[in-house]
Amino acid sequence: MSSVPVTTWYLEQTTPADLLPAAAPEGDVRVVRAEVPSPEFNRFLYTAVGGDIRWTDRLGWSYARWQELLEQPGTETWVAYDRGTPAGYVELEAQDEGAVEILYFGLLPAFRGRGIGGHLLAQGTARAWDLAERWPGRTPTKRVWVHTCDKDGEFAMANYQRRGFKLYDTRVELEPDVATPGPWPGAYPA
């Protein structure tokens, strides 16, 4: 299997004041927390959002591994719905010393380019900042961080920066060149 160089950028906010709002999208768009851990639902979101942009690291995960992640105290999934249809999601993970990582963020292809992404990222980041309020005993959030790479959507980096995230590290590593996984084989042209 061949390898390709992948550039990954690491961004952060260090105070809630860093978060810049986004305009609310038109229509009936709601962001709701998926409070019941559901490996099936999170795997659906992961493959549906990441299939055409080559998210592959979780494809081999077992049901038990998904369940373990989703049941960790301080792990949350926030889903954007457009007129009742899942449009995208933000997955948060509370970490040590008041850090919260945005593990995954993105929109299903049919919902991109409609102003939903900025709104969802702003809402998800706000929920990262107030995460400790929903999880008694957790350290209040002191830092929210995320990474994105050149395999992600073409507007990902600009969206993070428009929401107030600042670049703090860049890395280039070789990764296997994997065919687009889809949410199902052949769903999107490579």
Q: Is residue 178, in this structure, part of any structural domain at all?
A: no
Q: Is residue 10, in this structure, part of any structural domain at all?
A: no
* CATH code, 71: 3.40.630.30
CB atoms inside a 10 Å sphere around CB 177: 11
Q: Is residue 119, in this structure, part of any structural domain at all?
A: yes
Helix axis angle, 63-70 to 39-50, nearest 10°:
100
Q: Is residue 42, in this structure, part of any structural domain at all?
A: yes
Q: Is residue 18, in this structure, part of any structural domain at all?
A: no
pTM: 0.93
Q: Is residue 163, in this structure, part of any structural domain at all?
A: no
pLDDT tens string 140-189:
999 999 999 988 878 899 999 999 999 999 999 998 777 666 666 555 54
- Averaged pLDDT in 10-residue chunks for the chain of 190 residues: 90 98 94 97 94 84 96 97 97 97 95 95 98 95 96 88 98 81 56
Q: Which two tokens stand for residue 188?
A: 């999107």
Cα separation, 96 vs 94, in Å, equals 7
For 49, the domain range is 23-144
- What is the layout of strands, in order, in the sheet containing 166-176? 29-33, 75-82, 85-94, 99-107, 143-149, 3-13, 166-176
Q: Is residue 75, in this structure, part of any structural domain at all?
A: yes
CB atoms inside a 10 Å sphere around CB 136: 7
Q: How many domains does the chain have?
A: 1
Q: Is residue 92, in this structure, part of any structural domain at all?
A: yes
